Amino acid sequence: MARTELEKMLAGELYNAMDAELVAGRSRARKLVRLYNDTDMEDAAARQQLLGQLIGKLGTGVYLEPPFHCDYGTFISLGDRVYMNFQCVILDCTHVTIGHDVSFGPNVHVYAATHPLDADERIKGPELAKPVTIGAKTWVGGGSIIVPGVTIGEGVTIGAGSVVTKDIPPYVLAAGNPCRVIRALR
């Protein structure tokens, strides 16, 4: 039996992002994101209700400063007490898992979406996705970018403006472009 484009996407295989099911999923997310971003700061109940519809797994005490953007929302898992400052973006073409007590500075981008490296294959239009995991008690400094397939361990501090291209072990300070471990924190 042939796999759907959604199944291929979640399995890390080449997939067609223009598939009707995937387009509908992104359209749904765009509507919910627009509604969320337009809510009043004081309307905590409406914000939580919209996040509950948008995010696949939503912990308690999550606070996302608008504007926030994502591809699908349904493939995002947010632990308890996650905080994201203004302008955060998550391209969740596959699972993006963020642990408890994680904080993002402004303009942090998390990309699970990627494309073939071979130009001849890339111009045909297929896309790829690789999961991203961010461990509990991690701080990601403003303007940082986390690329597809990366795992960041628990208790990590990522310096502002970093480009995280490789896995980061637990309890370290890491920064730079490309991001590298500066020192242990324990």
Q: Which residues are catalytic?
A: 115
* Other Cβ atoms within 10 Å of 123 Cβ, number: 10
> Do residues 2 and 8 touch, judged by C-beta distance below 8 A?
no
142: tokens are 């403003």
Q: Would you say the C-alpha torsion 79, 136, 85, 74 has a positive or negative sign?
A: negative
> Do residues 116 and 80 touch, judged by C-beta distance below 8 A?
no
CA distance 51 to 44: 10
